[in-house]
Amino acid sequence: MAADPDDIGALRAALRARGGAGGPTAWRSLEDLAGTPAFRRFLKAEYPGVANVAGPGSTLLGSPIDRRRFFRVMAASLALAGLAGCDDDSDTDGRTEEIPYVRDPAHIIASTNTRYATATLTDGFANGVHVVTRNGRPHKIESNTEHPWTRGGTDVLGQASILGLYDPFRSQTVLRSGRPTDWDTFRAMMLAPIAVARARQGDGLRLLTGPITSPSLAAQIARFHTELPGLHWHSHEPISRAPIRDGSQQAFGRSLETRWRFDKAHVVVALDGDFLDPGPQQVGASRDWIEARRASARSATLLTLHSFSPTPSLTSAKADYHAPMSAREIASLADCLATGQAWTGPASAAVQQAIAALEGARGQGIVHVGVSQPASVHAAVHRANARLGNLGASVLQTESPVAAAEDVASLLAAMQAGQVQTLVMIGTNPLYDMPADLDFAARLEHVPLKIHAGDYADETAESCDWHLPLAHPLEAWGDARAFDGTVSLMQPTIAPFYEGRSPQEILSLLTDPEPQSGQALLKAYWGTQWGDATDNRWHLSLRRGFVADSAFAPVPVSLIRASTSPVAAPDAAGLELLFRPDPSIRDGASINANNAWLQELPKPLSKIVWENVVAISPRLAQREGLGNGDLVTLEAGGHRIEAPVWITPGQAENTLTMTLGYGRRTADMLATNLGYDAYALQRGATPWGRDDATLRRTGRRAQIATTQDHSSMEGHEFVRMQQPGARQNDEASLKPATLYASGGVEKPGDGRAWGMVIDLDSCIGCNACVVACQSENNIAVVGKDQVMQGREMHWLRIDRYYEGDLDAPDTRFQPVPCMHCEDAPCEVGCPVEATLHDHEGLNLMVYNRCVGTRACSGYCPYKVRHFNYLDYSAGAKPSIQAGRNPDVTVRAIGVMEKCTYCVQRIAEARIDSDKSGQPIADGVVQTACQTSCPTRAISFGNLEDPTAQVTAQRRDDRNYALLGELGVKPRTTYLAGLLPPATTQPATDGKS
């Protein structure tokens, strides 16, 4: 009999019964555990709840589609348009004309890809990338394998930045009091205020920016300050790194950044850790971690990760040992590690295991703390690493890549006192993302002249006298430092679509007698650094995308004092409300929040799309009688919001978590009215959390769009785990009996047999591959209503499984593309042979044959096929195709689509091979998901090549086939995840 998914006690009983029956212990959601009739019905149809699919105005889940929102979503997803070419030729209506070349430009070869080395930005930090362009139009972000920090990895924000470039909601012109004007008018109107500021030596002039790592921009601001000593520059960070800086100041007397040498460590203990989570550190740190873990596995001494976290994260999900722990308790644990005193708090078995591991690996351990913990905890962790001999060995300190600026507190005080005459805000939106108790809006009213420069006419722009459009990073000159300090040079990959200018150009317009271009400003700065070698180093750095040897060297440090205070027992009473960056849209900066790819990207753990929720623990849900989607009122500090709850396995009992970035209030953007505004409950003094929040039920419910139960596969062992050196007993699944009566289908070959291997130990669930696949293959965005019908179109999904107890389950990630089965059931089921095999073993789709029976989807055991219920490309102008990948067909209504192993890349290599007469070398063909992965979890190649990496991995002792026992012979196989040796596993609180 089915259980109630809101009855936590019944779910615990169902989990015990499932384990006792010897059946599969992995589960995907509370509904999966409950086995409700609704969940059963959902599994019986790949696309449940058949509805009228005529288009806008149809009914879904009992409510009509909002026509305005439908077209807003479609505008964002179809925005890969030819909004402007590389020449600024427009007609009198302001529309861009597309004029064919009379002679091809010398630097462009028609119908071939050109790559430009540049960088994408996360919180101001750079990730080095290549931008692929075709006929002058950027259409794909690729990894830069030479970049010292990223080394061929990317993240979701970088992959999605292509869609942001073409976003029609971007700011397009200068606005004065909300009305369009131009740059010449702005400059003319600024002559008097700037002259007054110069006469007063800058007194009354304030500059507010986001975090800046650009050496040239920081130098430009410093030069401006030299000319006007009274000028004050302030920095506002919605995702504040102040605890890191302040913690190192307390410990070492200097503001520094921490780096981790995982290759020199045997154990990592993460206290609310985040080094694998989205952020400026993710790409490089995750690569360092997995390379060290792979090396340790080869020597049968696995680099183990222990995690203690108040709310689940990618770092805690990949931990070998983990336990939920409130933020208050983490502070106490950090003090215990710093002083060596005994731990008497909760989760004692897991904590004692971690302490023993650290003590046994002195000088070869890492105590890591996430950015969201307060400065005092960061300082305690520094002392702990020093006490354990890790400081200077496996834990290093470097200079901070972020340029030093004044904090916001002094700006707010000056605004309130009427001391600010002119406020210039560049690349920041404080009216939305500043904590509510700081009341920035009221203080801004005291400023006579307010100038805002941003990507969008956002909340702050609406309250300013002037709004200036910023150029997108992919259409501007600039530079920025990566997390390790490496400087990336950024060059435009296309001329600006609109009237946007870079921050450097805007400052030049305000300060220089003759405004300079971004290129001139950038080259002039580096000319001061390189001297006579400028020309050679400039061209070399542009081509490579970074300045060689610019990473920061480790800084020798010593503690300025040691803590001798007794460790206070943690106070676990009451609720704590935590704020965390959203794993998809980060802090909600408009360039991310307005990106439909990111909004529809399932969040790694909850699989929720298009909104945020209040994450609560199963125990708190049971205590308060709450279920998924129940609306609650959260109140703190006199501010109140309503939001739905989401029961989150692995959450600390009395912890509530909200992600940032939602609840936007602008007039008409994609992000408007999505989700709930967590900034309204933030407190300026402690932006990462507060302990005075109250929660109250409203008795109402909200519908949450989540993909966690979509494409469910049941009754089998999907994610496998083993210890280093063990072997998968998997001969039956790799060479099973076939579904075909004749013993299999013989298919002609030509020496190429494409296949893929995915290393589950390396996959961190970061979603970079999902967005890369969407960008490469022109995959449509469908909107929240369609996702709730199970109609999302992603060709690659990452299944998230739980295993174990509700309160502290193990978490597993498994990317699932089309398996390209050698004996594919879909081919048997298709009545018109729209899906078939080619001579290289690829399972292909012939779109113009498909008549939409969806039989192939019903036959597919992996549920990796998707049907176009609506024509998401209807009405699109031909110019829209210019921004898409021209090598991939844009599908229309009524056809099935799925992963093709990026067949367009295979075809390009095949043509080159046929022309040269040489075989395709290993590594020449790389899929989009493979090149985007920061941990290199995906290998692809020719299985007929005995020297290929993918062939070697197929022979690995960890290799197994997903559902291989069905006899479909999948070309995609997996490497089992790794477990620590049994002798080091704790009796409780650890992974099984």
Residue identified by tokens 């589960």 is 27
Pairing of strands 449-454, 466-469: parallel
- Can you tell me whether residue 563 is helix, strand or coil? coil
User: Which residues on adjacent β-strands are paired with residue 470?
Assistant: 501
CB of 942 closer than 8 Å to CB of 927: no
Whether the pLDDT of residue 85 is over 60: the answer is no
The full 3-state SS of 644-660, as one line of letters, equals EEEECCCCCCCEEEEEC
Under the banding of pLDDT at 50, 70 and 90, the label for residue 839 is confident
| CA pseudo-torsion sign 574, 579, 582, 583 | negative
Residue type, 121: L
CB of 633 closer than 8 Å to CB of 642: yes
How far is the C-alpha of 344 from the C-alpha of 338, rounded, in Å? Answer: 15
Within a 10 A sphere around the Cβ of 722, how many other Cβ atoms?
A: 18
Whether the pLDDT of residue 778 is over 80: the answer is yes
Q: What is the pLDDT of residue 714?
A: 55
pLDDT: which is higher, 318 or 8: 318
End-to-end CA, the chain:
28
CB burial of 355-374 (b: ≥16 within 10 Å; e: otherwise) equals bebbeebeebbbbbbbbbbb
Average pLDDT of the segment spanning 964-990: 76
**pLDDT, tens digit (0-9, with 9 covering 90-100), for 903-912:** 999 999 999 9
pLDDT: which is higher, 555 or 986: 555
Please give the helix or strand (H or E) that residue 632 lies within, else none: strand 630-636
DSSP one-letter code for 546: B
- Cα separations (Å) of 713 from 46, 800, 962? 11, 12, 11
Q: What is the pLDDT of residue 323?
A: 93
Q: What is the pLDDT of residue 92?
A: 35
Please give the helix or strand (H or E) that residue 615 lies within, else none: strand 614-616
CB burial of 585-622 (b: ≥16 within 10 Å; e: otherwise) equals bbbbbbbbbbbbbbbbbbbbbbbbbbbbbbbbbbbbbb
User: Which residues on adjacent β-strands are paired with residue 722?
Assistant: 978
Residue 491: partners with Cβ closer than 8 Å, 6 or more residues away = 116, 117, 118, 477, 542
Residue identified by tokens 């979890």 is 937
Q: What is the pLDDT of residue 521?
A: 95
Q: What is the pLDDT of residue 687?
A: 92
- Can you tell me whether residue 327 is helix, strand or coil? helix
Q: What is the pLDDT of residue 724?
A: 84
**pLDDT, tens digit (0-9, with 9 covering 90-100), for 142-170:** 999 999 999 999 999 999 999 999 888 88
**pLDDT, tens digit (0-9, with 9 covering 90-100), for 110-120:** 678 889 999 99
User: Which residues on adjacent β-strands are paired with residue 137?
Assistant: 134
Quick one: what percent of the chain has pLDDT higher than 90? 63
Pairing of strands 614-616, 655-659: antiparallel
C-alpha closest to that of 476 among 924, 817, 120: 120
Residue identified by tokens 């890790």 is 390
Whether the pLDDT of residue 401 is over 80: the answer is yes
| CA pseudo-torsion sign 565, 567, 573, 574 | positive
Q: What is the pLDDT of residue 670?
A: 85
Residue identified by tokens 């398996």 is 819
Whether the pLDDT of residue 925 is over 60: the answer is yes
CB of 124 closer than 8 Å to CB of 215: no
Tokens of 784: 């929240």
CB of 764 closer than 8 Å to CB of 936: no
Query: Where does residue 183 rank: exposed (0-12), middle (13-18), buried (19+ CB within 10 A)?
Result: middle
How far is the C-alpha of 713 from the C-alpha of 821, rounded, in Å? Answer: 17
DSSP character string of 292-322: HHHHHHHTT---EEEEEESS--HHHHT-SEE
Whether the pLDDT of residue 224 is over 70: the answer is yes
CB of 957 closer than 8 Å to CB of 726: yes
Under the banding of pLDDT at 50, 70 and 90, the label for residue 719 is confident
Tokens of 691: 């302990």
pLDDT mean across residues, the chain = 85
What's the residue count for the chain? 992
Q: What is the pLDDT of residue 663?
A: 92
3-state helix, strand, coil in the chain (%, to 5): 30, 20, 50
Q: What is the pLDDT of residue 55?
A: 39
Q: What is the pLDDT of residue 700?
A: 93
Query: Where does residue 334 rank: exposed (0-12), middle (13-18), buried (19+ CB within 10 A)?
Result: buried
Largest CA distance in the chain: 91
Quick one: what percent of the chain has pLDDT higher than 70? 83
CB of 857 closer than 8 Å to CB of 835: no
CB of 879 closer than 8 Å to CB of 98: yes
CB of 783 closer than 8 Å to CB of 39: no
Tokens of 346: 């909760």
Distance of CA 278 to the CA centre of its chain: 5
Average pLDDT of the segment spanning 546-559: 94
- Can you tell me whether residue 472 is helix, strand or coil? coil
DSSP one-letter code for 95: P
Within a 10 A sphere around the Cβ of 789, how many other Cβ atoms?
A: 19
Please give the helix or strand (H or E) that residue 143 lies within, else none: strand 137-143
Under the banding of pLDDT at 50, 70 and 90, the label for residue 722 is confident
CB of 598 closer than 8 Å to CB of 656: no
Whether the pLDDT of residue 555 is over 80: the answer is yes
Tokens of 982: 């049994």
- Can you tell me whether residue 382 is helix, strand or coil? helix
How far is the C-alpha of 454 from the C-alpha of 458, rounded, in Å? Answer: 8
The pTM for the full model equals 0.89
How far is the C-alpha of 676 from the C-alpha of 663, rounded, in Å? Answer: 4
In degrees and rounded to multiples of 5, residue 257 shows phi and psi of -110, 145
Tokens of 558: 């010593």
- Stretch among 340-349, 477-486, 692-701 having the lowest mean pLDDT: 340-349
Whether the pLDDT of residue 520 is over 70: the answer is yes
Residue 628: partners with Cβ closer than 8 Å, 6 or more residues away = 5, 6, 30, 644, 645, 646, 647, 704
C-alpha closest to that of 895 among 853, 933, 862, 925: 853
Pairing of strands 179-180, 175-176: antiparallel
- Can you tell me whether residue 688 is helix, strand or coil? coil
Which domains are seen in the chain, by residue range?
A: 45-54+709-876+885-982 (3.30.70.20), 175-238+403-489+501-544 (3.40.50.740), 242-400 (3.40.228.10), 576-701 (2.40.40.20)
Whether the pLDDT of residue 44 is over 90: the answer is no
How far is the C-alpha of 561 from the C-alpha of 563, rounded, in Å? Answer: 7
The HSE-up count of residue 469 (CA atoms within 13 Å, CB side) is: 21
Q: What is the pLDDT of residue 273?
A: 92
Residue 877: partners with Cβ closer than 8 Å, 6 or more residues away = 81
Whether the pLDDT of residue 187 is over 50: the answer is yes
Under the banding of pLDDT at 50, 70 and 90, the label for residue 108 is low
Tokens of 676: 């709930």
What angle, rounded to 10 degrees, do the helices at 242-252 and 375-387 form?
A: 50
Average pLDDT of the segment spanning 838-842: 89
